[in-house]
Amino acid sequence: MNRKERRAVAHQQRKQDRKAGFPSATSQTPPPATSADAPVVAGIPEPGLPLPSLAALTSAKPPVSEARAQANRQNAQHSTGPTTPAGVAASSQNRTVHGLARHNGSFRLLPMEKRDKYEALQTELSDEHQPTTPTEAILVNSMAESLWLSQRSQSLQETCIDFMTGQIKDAKMFSLYLRYQTTHTRAFHKSLNDLIKLRAEKRKAEVGFEAQNRKAEEIRIKNEQHEMKKQEHYWNVLQKDAKACHQLSLNSTQQLNAMKENPEFLAFYTAELAKRGAKPSTWSCAEAAA
């Protein structure tokens, strides 16, 4: 019976005791069994409850001499680990069993894995998503690493299964690999969603810029059309003025010709205008003749 089962049995026993009206056995603390004749030994607790704490047992340590402390410090300087860059790089990979935790924050391939397959995966993802900025390239590379680690977790899970019976041989490691697979799968989808969101925002900005340019172009065209209408109106007015001036010139020419043929035409013309209540034009025939 393990510890969990023992605790469950003790809990059930306490519940039954409380229902029956009896105090729990664990709630009663028996008095320490002491004897007046028992010898007292330093550092050894007397039998009975409660037991002394661990701090009370470890507090009475013999003091360390200064010579011994100095010797310990000198000996510690001989075990500081590697000092060369190659030694530091090698020791940094100690205890790298599965490489699923991104040891030292970096991704690395295991000796049993082939680099050409990983590079082929990177190329396929890059050809599919076509990154155009450094941020997009980082996200695509993160997708490749997360997918590779997820596949590694799945392959490591197979080492924990007996293929003959289908039973899990090492439940602890199987649960660990399964948790890492879930973590890296989520990391892959997060990088993919970040890439999609980044491109959507970029596309939205481009569409907004195009719409702004299109609106500015429409305003420019409207202004040009309005200016063309103003010019057309101006030339129409000039054309009408020219026609009016041409007609006045024709009338004056006719009057002059009539005055040459009939000297009394001016008096007759003025009287006729007065009879009709009209005024002669400011450009009279006499002025034209003068």
Q: What is the pLDDT of residues 62-103, one digit of tens each?
A: 777 888 888 888 888 776 666 666 555 545 544 455 677 765
DSSP calls for 121-157: HHHHHHHHH---SHHHHHHHHHHHHHHHHHHHHHHHH
Do 231 and 250 sit in the same domain of this protein? no
Mean pLDDT along residues 191-208:
88
Residue with tokens 């190659």: 86
Q: What pTM did the predictor assign?
A: 0.43
Do 201 and 124 sit in the same domain of this protein? yes
Region of poorest pLDDT, from 5-9, 35-39, 233-237:
35-39
Q: What is the pLDDT of residues 125-144, one digit of tens each?
A: 999 999 999 999 999 999 99
Do 285 and 233 sit in the same domain of this protein? no
Do 254 and 222 sit in the same domain of this protein? no
DSSP calls for 218-279: HHHHHHHHHHHHHHHHHHHHHHHHHHHHHHHHHHHHHHHHHHHH-TTHHHHHHHHHHHHT--
Mean pLDDT along residues 16-45:
55
Distance between CA atoms of residues 207 and 213, nearest Å? 10
Q: What is the pLDDT of residues 33-63, one digit of tens each?
A: 444 444 544 455 555 555 656 666 555 567 7
Do 267 and 181 sit in the same domain of this protein? no
Do 223 and 118 sit in the same domain of this protein? yes
Structurally, the chain folds into a number of domains equal to: 2
Do 153 and 171 sit in the same domain of this protein? yes
Do 136 and 220 sit in the same domain of this protein? yes
Do 118 and 232 sit in the same domain of this protein? yes
Q: What is the pLDDT of residues 142-192, one digit of tens each?
A: 999 999 999 989 888 888 888 888 888 888 888 988 998 999 999 999 999
In a domain, 45, yes or no: no
Residue 233 Cα distances to 57, 226, 228, 230, angstroms: 111, 11, 9, 5
Distance between CA atoms of residues 180 and 186, nearest Å? 10
Confidence of residue 268 (pLDDT cuts 50, 70, 90): confident
List the domain range (segments joined by +) for residue 254.
Answer: 241-289
For residue 43, give the 3-state DSSP assignment.
coil
